[in-house]
Amino acid sequence: MVNFLICRKILWEYNNSKLWNDVTYAFYEFGILYIDVIGILEALNIMTGKILWRIGYHHWIGVTWENHFYMPQPVNHTNTFVSVRIYAINLKTGKEV
């Protein structure tokens, strides 16, 4: 049983307008969090809350709790900035980690 629930939100910024939306898809398997979106990813350490890395990416990203990750070729998009933040919630307390 995993004690942490991963919630995802992305902030789209376009021409100074902002809108929060859900990340398209993510799942956890064998110690790796897989995320399928396009843009800039900020990954948080679920134990400390510190940002592990921030990087442009395309399609699938795999993140392990040991702070290792892999990514395909990054892509650039004009006029649109996508920020993805990973939140960890302790399932026992319901509080953010």
Please give the angle made by the CA atoms of 21, 68 and 4, to the nearest 5 degrees.
55
Helix (H, G, I), strand (E, B) or coil at 70: strand
CB 80 within 8 A of CB 56: no
Q: pTM for this one? A: 0.22
Q: Which of 4, 21, 3 is nearest to 82 (CA)?
A: 21
Residuewise pLDDT in 10s, the chain (97 residues): 333 334 444 444 333 333 333 344 445 555 555 554 444 445 555 455 555 555 443 334 444 443 333 333 333 333 333 333 444 445 455 555 4
48/96 Cα distance (integer angstroms): 11
